[in-house]
Amino acid sequence: MICTICWQPIRNGEPRKRVTRSRPSGGMVPVTPAYTHKLCRQKPDRVPYIAAWSSERFAAEPPVVQGLLGGIRYEGEMPADRDGRGVLWLRRPDTPGKGRPRYVDVHPGRQRRCMADLLCQVCGGPADQDDDGRVLRLIEDARADWEGWPNDLVTTHPPICPPCVATARAQCPHTWQGSVAVRVGRSEVCGVWGRRYTASRLGPLPVESGVVPFKSPLLGWTVAAQLVRALNDCSIVSLDEAVAAHA
């Protein structure tokens, strides 16, 4: 049995904890069997740059109405509600550090900034690039999904820098399920993750949340919450080597 944080064996008798994740309806549920050393887990002492804060929520969301030329818009829409591509974005204040951190929620503006400018999701500084320009990412391990993974993977997770890798591994429950370091040679901003709407006699109705490519006709019916990149020319690398190279 291997600890998914330090990747060292968990010996008989050593304190260990099973990895769980939250249920949408509340409570916890075990994931595919995975364990960590109990001592490897740390309480968060650092709020990731992309994490939302309690001050960054509205008492009421702006009403979504049908646009004059099709698609959706906000009632009382402002220019800042759309990006340069004309995509409608989830409206949120940008007040990090005010209130309480909401670790499970991602701030749409800061996530978009990290994905567009290749910034570290934890500290907000430049993400790491090696001498060949390959960007470092920490990704949930899904090598069993298809041959050649993570090539052709689309992700909402921004890159990372080596000093923040250890923090993410020890303090982020998402990485406890098993994560790998990946060097990405090519990536393209290709779409958004958000809530899609459909027309009805009562006005636009939310249908589902998911990835919507920029070329999709459904983009005009989507309120985007996160930017998406497609990853290619990927190589899985040792987490320890990635950190040691910049020690």
pLDDT digits (tens, 9 = 90+) for 209-234: 999 999 999 999 999 999 999 999 99
Higher per-residue confidence, 152 vs 35:
152
Q: Nearest to residue 104, comparing CAs of 56, 59, 175, 51?
A: 51
Residue bearing the bigger pLDDT, 176 or 82: 82
- Mean pLDDT of the region 26-30: 45
Residue 202 has, within 13 A of its CA and on its CB side, a CA count of 3
Confirm if 16 and 37 have CB atoms less than 8 A apart: yes
Q: What average pLDDT is seen over the chain? A: 87
Domain ranges of the chain: 1-41, 45-244
Structure tokens at 240: 């320890």
Q: 132 or 179: which carries more pLDDT confidence?
A: 132
What pLDDT sits at residue 91? Answer: 95
- Percent of the chain residues past pLDDT 90, beyond the cut: 60
Mean pLDDT for 197-218 is 96
Q: Of 168 and 190, which is predicted with more confidence?
A: 190
What is d(CA 154, CA 55) in angstroms, rounded to the nearest whole number?
30
Q: What is the pLDDT of residue 175?
A: 64
Length of the chain: 247
pLDDT, tens digit (0-9, with 9 covering 90-100), for 39-94: 777 777 789 999 999 999 887 889 999 998 899 999 999 999 999 999 999 999 99
Over residues 32-38, mean pLDDT: 71
Structure tokens at 8: 């060292």
Which of 213-217, 236-240, 243-247 shows the highest mean pLDDT? 213-217
Quick one: which of 130, 195, 187, 111 has its CA closest to 153? 187
pTM of the model: 0.83
What is the average per-residue pLDDT within 16-31?
A: 54
pLDDT score at 140 = 85
33-37, 89-93, 124-128, 136-140, range with the lowest pLDDT: 33-37
* Distance (Å, whole) CA 16 – CA 217: 49
